[in-house]
Amino acid sequence: MTEPLSAANLTVRFGGRDVLADLSLRLEPGQVICIVGPNGAGKSTLMACLAGLRKPDRGEARLGEAPVLALPPRRRARRIGFLPQTPEIAWAIEAETLVSLGRTPYLGAGGVGEEGRAAVARAMQMTDVTGLAHRTVDTLSGGERARVLIARALAGDPEWLLADEPLAGLDPGHQIDACDLFRRLAQEGCGVVMTLHDLGMALRVADRVLVLAEGGMIADGPAVEALSPQVIRRAYGVEARLHKGAHGPALELVGRHGG
């Protein structure tokens, strides 16, 4: 059973200021959770702390009752899959080989193995990149590369998927496909946490939205409540309107507050 992912009194300082200040939260599996906020609000920093990739100045992230940083790295990597915002690909390897790197926490003397190969094939099918298997990543478009990287994260069969701007570089059709995939993963019991700049997409896909600004969390709840015009004005300094769209609530950004 997937355990909750949480943060207790998390504080991270950059350049003499608190990017995150005494932040506490509890994330439940089986949901798509979107973290939004203006540039510099600490979204990527929070994700790195939750994934155990950054040690906070105070406080800690926990998976269940265990501090994330106390988990052995291989065990932690099996339970938490992380997709960074700006991933580095050092070599011009084939897409299938890159996806196979998602099985690294499971590798033994026998290499990837039959179970691992099945997980890689499944992840590539889920992200519609099977046809790219033998193309080297340097020949892929930005959107194709983004989908391959999502597949790499999924190949490890994580309990939690933490994705930092996973829709960046995807065309609208593949953005919708990715969001449908994230929803399906959540319905199967995985915890999905992602940062987004597209508030309309967050409204579409999220079960829960966290809004970061001013060094902390200024809203937390169902998307329609957390992305209210009042919260958007406070976080971004822009005026917004919520209205009923063809596929549910829709968001219209009107302009700068006071402008």
Q: Which of 59-68, 230-239, 250-259 has the lowest mean pLDDT?
A: 250-259
Stretch 231-254: mean pLDDT: 84
Confidence (pLDDT) at 199 = 92
227 vs 65, 68, 199, 250, CA distance in Å?
Answer: 31, 30, 8, 10
Helices (H), 55-171: 73-79, 95-100, 113-126, 142-155
Say whether pTM exceeds 0.85: yes
Percent of the chain with pLDDT over 90: 73
Helix (H) / strand (E) element for 249: namely strand 248-256
Helix H or strand E segment including 225: helix 223-226
Nearest to 106 by CA among 77, 66, 148: 77
Closest CA to 112 of 99, 125, 95, 124: 99
Cα–chain center distance at 57 = 22
Q: Write the DSSP symbol of residue 227.
A: T
Q: Which two tokens stand for residue 125?
A: 């099918």
pLDDT of residue 15 exceeding 90, the answer is no
Task: Give the mean model confidence (pLDDT) for residues 174-191.
Answer: 92
- Look at the chain and report how many structural domains it folds into: 1
pLDDT above 80: residue 53: yes
One-letter amino acid of 55: K
Residue whose entry in the numeric block shows the structure tokens 């209210």: 228
- Domain containing 56: what range? 5-256
pLDDT of residue 82: 94
**Residue 255 has what pLDDT?**
83
- pLDDT, tens digit (0-9, with 9 covering 90-100), for 141-159: 888 988 999 999 999 999 9
| pLDDT, tens only, 82-121 | 998 877 777 889 999 999 999 998 886 556 788 889 999 9
Contact 218, 234 (CB under 8 A): yes
Question: What is d(CA 110, CA 232) in angstroms, rounded to the nearest whole number?
Answer: 52
pLDDT of residue 110: 57
3-state secondary structure at position 145: helix
The CATH number of residue 150's host domain is 3.40.50.300
9 confidence band (pLDDT: 50, 70, 90): very high
H helix count then E strand count, the chain: 9, 12
